[in-house]
Amino acid sequence: MFSVSCNANTRSSRLVKIKRLTTSLVKYKIVTMVCNCLHGKAPSYLIHCCTSILDVASQRHLHSASRCQLVVPRHNLSTFGLWASFTFPAAWNCLSDELLEPLLTANSFRQLLKTHLLAE
């Protein structure tokens, strides 16, 4: 009887690890896509989803403008259209200041992002 519960615990801990890894992988894909959008290396319909706060005149004075954050548009969850329009900026804005450094190369950004996501 003890071995059955031990196997169940092992199985549940594996599922938790898989869930964390999957969540990290999804975050990684979304944030790297945002990085590509900001560098103009993504399709135009995705690039339009990533508007910097610096590009919005009424929000340039905000503290988030100095952190290279993006505008997260208001949306209605029952009738939202393109999910990327609010998912991309929200995921980007959750990153640490170290990752938002504009002088990072693409490779160093990806490496730092992997380290950041696996540490969560």
Q: For residue 42, give the DSSP letter.
A: S
pLDDT in tens, 58-77: 555 555 556 677 877 766 65
99 residue type, one letter: L
Q: Region 38-57: what's the mean pLDDT? A: 80
Residue pair 88/70 in contact (Cβ under 8 Å)? The answer is yes
Distance CA 116, CA 45 (A): 28
Residue 68, sorted as left (phi over 0), alpha (psi -120 to 50) or beta, turns out to be left
Q: What is the pLDDT of residue 113?
A: 93
Most distant CA pair in the chain, distance? 66
Q: Region 81-86: what's the mean pLDDT? A: 66
Q: What is the pLDDT of residue 51?
A: 80
Residue pair 99/113 in contact (Cβ under 8 Å)? The answer is yes
